[in-house]
Structure 1
Amino acid sequence: MTPAQRLRQIANVLNLSTPLGLVVAAASGCAVSHGPRGLLIAAGYQWTLPHAGAFTLGNVILYRAPQGVAGTNTVLLGHEERHSTQYAYCLGLPFLALYGIAAGWSMLRSGNPASRNFFERQAGLVAGGYVDTHNRRQGSQADQRIEATS
């Protein structure tokens, strides 16, 4: 682990986001194993919310996928790792409120909780399995017709 990854790991324990992740993993019956770069992989998450295939609480990445499959998609793992870093710089649990505000803003602006969400954009929309509807709207046929007639 790099010094920055170790710092993130320690920060997310102290700010209580990783302990929360471990409680949620245990309560939901996940199998937890050590992942790369100080991350913990929790496999087999089956609660209804959130709807995502994977989500992060501190340094714990919870996957709906079973053990042996969870954490094998390196692109998705990188996306979730960036969320882990966001927990550290948002001082832990305040990240949940900030993320909720960003998701609400995104819903108002784009009709979905990710496309205009600062945290999802910073983590990489495509890496997280999201479609960037904001950029698609900018290049819509209506925009092209307006530009062509100008």
Structure 2
Amino acid sequence: MTSGQRLRQIANLVNASTLLGWLLAKASRTTITRGPRGLVIASGYRWRLPNAGAFTVGNVVIFRARPEHALGNPVLLGHEEKHSSHYAWCLGVPFPVLYFIAAAWSKLRTGNPASGNFFERHAGLEAGGYIDVTLRKPAPDGAGGREA
């Protein structure tokens, strides 16, 4: 682990978000394994909410997929690792509140909870499986321009 990854791990232990993630993983009967870069991988999540293929609480990355699929998707794991850093930056428990405010603001502005969400954009929309609805498609030839 790098010193930054170790610092994130310690911060998320101190702010209790990793403990909260671990308790959620245990309560939902996931398979818990040690992951790369100080992360804990919880796989086989079956509860209805949140409706996501993966989500992070502290340094615990919770996947619906089986362990081999969870660890076999380094792009999504990297996206979730950035959310782990968000927990450290936001001092733990405030992060979900700030995340949901950002998601609501994004939904109001773009009609999508991820496209305008600072945290999802920072973690990488495409890496998280999101489509950036803020990108405008080019207008068809002759549309929007002046008539000759």
The share of aligned pairs that are identical, in percent, is 58
Aligned to 1:106: 106
What is the distance in 2 between the residues matched to 1:20 and 1:90?
15
Please identify which structure carries the higher helix content: 1
Q: Which amino acid aligns with 1:149?
A: R
1:63 aligns with 2:60: no
Aligned to 1:86: 86
Aligned to 1:42: 42
What is the distance in 1 between the residues matched to 2:108 and 2:28?
31
1:149 aligns with 2:125: no
Unaligned segments of structure 2, at least 5 residues:
none
**How far apart are 1:69 and its partner, in Å?**
1.7
Q: Which runs of 4+ in 1 moved over 2 A?
A: 138-142
1:13 aligns with 2:10: no
Unaligned segments of structure 1, at least 5 residues:
none
**How far apart are 1:41 and its partner, in Å?**
0.3
SS at match of 1:69: helix
Q: Which amino acid aligns with 1:124?
A: G
Q: Which amino acid aligns with 1:145?
A: A
When the two structures are superposed, what TM-score results if normalisation uses the length of structure 2? 0.94
**How far apart are 1:104 and its partner, in Å?**
0.0
What is the distance in 1 between the residues matched to 2:74 and 2:29?
24
Cα contact 2:106–2:114 (8 A) shared by 1:
yes
What is the distance in 2 between the residues matched to 1:58 and 1:149?
54
**How far apart are 1:71 and its partner, in Å?**
2.2
Q: CA RMSD in A?
A: 1.4
Q: Which amino acid aligns with 2:137?
A: G
Per-residue CA shift, 1:2-36, capped at 9, x if unaligned? 11000000000111110010010000000110000
Aligned to 2:137: 139
Aligned to 1:96: 96
Aligned to 1:115: 115
